[in-house]
Amino acid sequence: MGKGAREENVATFRGSEYFCYDLSQNPIQSSSDEITLSFKTWQRNGLILHTGKSADYVNLALKDGAVSLVINLGSGAFEAIVEPVNGKFNDNAWHDVKVTRNLRQQSGIGHAMVTISVDGILTTTGYTQEDYTMLGSDDFFYVGGSPSTADLPGSPRNTDKETATAVQLK
């Protein structure tokens, strides 16, 4: 590797493969987050990452070739779909995703501002509902899939019965 070159770590998940981290011993309690990753896949639908359960979760997935983000902090979900101008994101090319969530105070009421960008260009910004601002997760953190993705809160429901995910993350 040349001087100044950066080694890349790539994880590949095929079919029913996924990574799972148990957060029960080290739960997430945060008012701001930043998630950055790159992915490539041919699959139209599939889980990229998920953490949380019931009404406190983050779900990032592919839905019909678009990037879907659902964040619920306990008072209702913020949902965003990011679609490219031409084609779909399931073109087996690398796509860079950045999700940020930051607490904003307005008139004594807190809202979490959420921004998602794909490939540094396509951006959606919005707010979580009401004054719930903390993400609390003591469940599992899934990457690339899960034992039962369709049952995870915020997961897109696949209409084409496509359940396998083949995705590479770096």
pLDDT in tens, 45-97: 989 988 877 777 889 999 999 999 988 777 677 888 999 988 999 999 999 99
The domain that holds 139 is classified in CATH as 2.60.120.200
The phi and psi torsions of 151 (rounded to 5 degrees) equal -90, -5
Q: How confident is the model at residue 107 (pLDDT cuts 50, 70, 90)?
A: very low
Q: What is the pLDDT of residue 133?
A: 43
The model's pTM is: 0.77
Q: Order across the sheet with 122-127: list the strands.
A: 11-13, 167-169, 33-41, 95-106, 109-118, 122-127
pLDDT at 109 over 80: no
pLDDT at 157 over 90: no
Task: Give how many domains the chain has, as a whole number.
Answer: 1
With respect to residue 2, please indicate whether it lies within any of the assigned structural domains: no
Domain that holds residue 144: 11-169
Sign of the torsion formed by the C-alpha atoms of 47, 52, 58 and 63: positive
Question: What number is the average pLDDT over the span 4-29?
Answer: 74
With respect to residue 5, please indicate whether it lies within any of the assigned structural domains: no
Higher local confidence (pLDDT), 141 or 165: 141
